[in-house]
Structure 1
Amino acid sequence: MSVSAPSFGAMTYWINTVSRGHVLRGVAGGFTQANHGRPHMLRRMERDDWIVFYSPKTDYPDGDRLQAFTALGRVCDDEVYQEDFDPQFQPYRRRMEFIPCAETPIRPLLDQLTFIEDTSRWGFRFRSGVFSIDQHDFDVIRAAMTQ
């Protein structure tokens, strides 16, 4: 199903920093997790918010460096749920609707993204895991991933 990002409304645009391996599992399963399965940031999200997935590595914790946007999707539920498949790890998740897109390196976009305050230290912003961005930055990334 093709979904276009509306240009109106009170939605929030997010970046979720996740290894590509974890992103691909989420795309296949129609969900996202954040901050190693913790619920806090997921609870801040609303239905129809958009999430861009940034992957610093191919896999966590020891994957190769990637530094690319790897998926794009929209939150399609109203609340966080907890997965109960392993007594040792019961992560919190949100249901997602992903759109077709191409993996896109971040470096060519650095000068266009306003959330990057210092291009010599651009990776620092992603250390928080999940953070909101403005519509301009979302549109820049979406255009690069869907052209």
Structure 2
Amino acid sequence: MNYWIGVASKDHVTLGVAGGFCQLCHGKSAPLNKMQAGDWLIYYAPKQSLKTKEPCQEFIALGQILPGETYAFEMAPGFIPNRKNVDFLKDIQPVSLQAVADFPLWQEYRSRLRFGHFQIPEELFDFIISGMKTGV
């Protein structure tokens, strides 16, 4: 089992959670293909919307990757991103980036937020989700 952080605007994450899928790095398949059934994904939202600069800076969604392959989905004419199905947990609380900032292990991973998708160790995963008040 592996643990991942995906980075997307809050409005995009909300669509994915409602639809039971993840979509990363502007719809590229490579990051999705790295994740296997049973892996965990935490979504971090740097801003509220792709179209604005209003900050969010929170870890806002948590889900487990479901069995099945990455698949293409036409969202709009000419825009066919790739997706992977995810079982997102309900009733979680967002965790601010500030709440994680003092965790020593986070310092090693913070700069990776600009890449859109990266793997984290279980210890960091556990720390972040402890603030989400989940039973994982």
Aligned pair count reads 133
Please tell me whether the aligned partners of residues 113 and 140 of structure 1 are also in contact (alpha carbons under 8 angstroms).
no
2:114 aligned with 1:127, yes or no? yes
Which segments of 5 or more consecutive residues in structure 1 lack a partner in the other structure? 1-10
Distance in 1, matches of 2:81 and 2:64, equals 19
Question: Once the two structures are superposed, what CA deviation does each residue of 1:14-34 show, in whole Å capped at 9, x if it has no partner?
Answer: 000011100000000000000
Which region of structure 1 is more displaced relative to structure 2, 78-87 or 17-26?
78-87
Corresponding residue SS for 2:132: helix
Distance in 2, matches of 1:128 and 1:18, equals 10
Question: Residue 141 of structure 1 aligns with which residue?
Answer: 128
Question: Residue 28 of structure 2 aligns with which residue?
Answer: 38
Distance in 2, matches of 1:113 and 1:26, equals 30
Question: Residue 99 of structure 2 aligns with which residue?
Answer: 108
Question: Once the two structures are superposed, what CA deviation does each residue of 1:2-53 show, in whole Å capped at 9, x if it has no partner?
Answer: xxxxxxxxx1100000111000000000000000011011011100100000
Question: Residue 70 of structure 1 aligns with which residue?
Answer: 60
Question: Residue 50 of structure 1 aligns with which residue?
Answer: 40
Distance in 2, matches of 1:84 and 1:36, equals 13
Distance in 2, matches of 1:89 and 1:17, equals 19
Question: Residue 14 of structure 2 aligns with which residue?
Answer: 24
Corresponding residue SS for 2:44: strand
Please tell me whether the aligned partners of residues 2 and 119 of structure 2 are also in contact (alpha carbons under 8 angstroms).
yes
Q: Given residue 126 of structure 2, which amino acid in structure 1 is its aligned partner?
A: D
Question: Residue 89 of structure 2 aligns with which residue?
Answer: 99
Identity %: 35
Corresponding residue SS for 1:62: coil
Corresponding residue SS for 2:46: strand
Question: Once the two structures are superposed, what CA deviation does each residue of 1:60-100 show, in whole Å capped at 9, x if it has no partner?
Answer: 03141111001000101231011134331011000010012
Please tell me whether the aligned partners of residues 46 and 75 of structure 1 are also in contact (alpha carbons under 8 angstroms).
yes
Which segments of 5 or more consecutive residues in structure 2 lack a partner in the other structure? none
Q: CA RMSD in A?
A: 1.5
Question: Residue 5 of structure 1 aligns with which residue?
Answer: none
